[in-house]
Amino acid sequence: MRCPICHFPETDVIDTRKLYEGEVIRRRRKCRACGRRFTTYERIESVSLMVVKKDGTREPYDREKIARGVRTACYRRPVSADAIEQLVNEVETAVMATDQQEISSQFIGDAVMHRLRDLDEVAYIRFASVYRSFADIGKLREAVDELLEREGTRNSHLSAVTTDQGTTDNHSRM
């Protein structure tokens, strides 16, 4: 840290204290050249991430808003609070990994939906119905059909694997 009096580039820290419950650190310093003492304050620079909504408006990123949406979708479903917290953490990690100052609400919504689909299918449909603003029952049906098709693909893959192992193929016993 450069001395504010003589501008010498090296100083010694002689005292450090936490302020405001550790959000700010106050350091007393002493210049190695002129011996003068001065105080510096350190605080975390908060990243101001803005979410760009579908209509073009911007609002500050709010982790709690994501958590509320996921909790609402998972209401009365067998999804633990820990699983919801993990999902929100994963979405937030994906958002922060973009290293952008602005992120689209679509990116966040898609990240939530992708993870909800694997966590709980009913919660996924609930979230999708709000997020995608289904205009009619046809759009809702498309989402359910997509989910069922994905599930059918997974089940047919499992069936093929167990058939190859000879555990479920009744014809091979005849």
Comparing CA positions, the residue from 32, 29, 39, 34 lying closest to residue 6 is 34
Structural domain contains residue 2? no
Residue 128 lies in a domain: yes
Q: What range does the domain containing 39 cover?
A: 11-43
Instruction: Say whether both 139 and 77 belong to one domain.
Output: yes
19 and 69 inside one domain: no
Quote the DSSP letter at residue 78: S
Task: Please indicate, yes or no, whether residues 129 and 54 belong to a single structural domain of this protein.
Answer: yes
Mean pLDDT, rounded, of the chain: 82
Question: pTM (2 decimals)?
Answer: 0.56
Integer CA distances (angstroms), 110 to 79, 140, 148, in order:
20, 16, 19
Residue 160 lies in a domain: no
- Could you tell me which residues are beta bridge partners of residue 37? 30
Q: Answer yes or no: do 57 and 134 share one domain.
A: yes
Residue 165 in any domain: the answer is no
Q: Which residue has the higher pLDDT, 99 or 161?
A: 99
Q: Is residue 73 part of a domain?
A: yes
Distance CA 13, CA 118 (A): 51
Give CA–CA dist 42/9, Å, rounded. 18
In a domain, 169, yes or no: no
- φ/ψ bin of 68: left (φ > 0), alpha (ψ from -120 to 50), beta (otherwise): alpha
- Enumerate the β-bridge partners of residue 16: 27
| Mean pLDDT across 9-29 | 89
Helix extents (H) in the chain: 63-73, 81-97, 105-119, 121-131, 137-164
Q: What is the pLDDT of residue 153?
A: 59
In a domain, 5, yes or no: no
Q: In the chain, how many domains are there?
A: 2
- Structure-token pair, residue 49: 């991430």
Are 23 and 60 within one domain? no
Cβ neighbours of 81 (radius 10 Å): 9
**Same domain assignment for residues 55 and 30:** no
Are 146 and 63 in the same domain?
A: yes
- Dig out the tokens for 67 from the structure: 């958590």
Residue 66 sits in the same domain as residue 139: yes
Q: Tokens 């966040």 correspond to what residue? A: 108
* 80-93 pLDDT, tens digit each: 998 998 899 889 88
Name residues whose C-beta falls within 8 Å of residue 172's C-beta, 6 or more positions apart in sequence.
Answer: 166
| Residue 141 clears pLDDT 50, i.e. is over it | yes
Q: Which of 130, 136, 152, 148 is nearest to 54 (CA)?
A: 130
Contact of 27 with 37, CB cutoff 8 Å: no
Based on the fold, state whether residues 104 and 144 are members of the same structural domain. yes
pLDDT value of residue 30? 96
